[in-house]
């Protein structure tokens, strides 16, 4: 995510009755729906997500796995996880 995106990102609040991974999955889905994150934008990796939100890397992995399984994100081995193009379910189309 760019510095601009991070500044526009709303605060995340965790509640005892909602799993942290669920809160973060919903957070990233909202950022995508609101256009703060667009197809091709890089999502934070496990270490960065864990540090930013004060969660375990395992929890960060679960967040990314759920976004990958739902088709909202795609992974490029060795490079990271990115927001999917809703039309392709993967990398954005190039003109």
pLDDT in tens, 70-88: 999 999 999 999 999 988 8
Does residue 37 lie in a domain region?
yes
Give the per-residue pLDDT at 16.
Answer: 94
The CA distance from 68 to 84, in Å, is: 9
Does residue 23 lie in a domain region?
yes
Does residue 10 lie in a domain region?
yes
Q: What's the CATH number where 18 sits?
A: 1.10.10.10
Give the per-residue pLDDT at 95.
Answer: 64
Taking alpha carbons only, the member of 27, 31, 47 closest to residue 39 is 31
Does residue 76 lie in a domain region?
yes
Long-range interactions of 10-17: CB distance < 8 A, separation 24+ = 12/53
Domain that holds residue 66: 3-83
Average pLDDT of 23-40?
Answer: 96
């Amino acid at each position: 995510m760019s510095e601009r995106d991070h500044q526009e990102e709303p605060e995340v609040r965790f509640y005892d009755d909602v799993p942290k991974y669920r809160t973060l999955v919903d957070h990233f889905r909202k950022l995508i729906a609101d256009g703060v994150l667009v197809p091709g934008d890089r999502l934070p990796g496990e270490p960065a997500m864990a540090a930013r939100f004060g969660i375990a890397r395992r929890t960060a992995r679960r967040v990314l796995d759920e976004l990958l399984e739902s088709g909202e994100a795609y992974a490029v081995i060795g490079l990271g996880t990115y927001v999917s193009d809703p039309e392709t379910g993967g990398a954005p189309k190039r003109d």
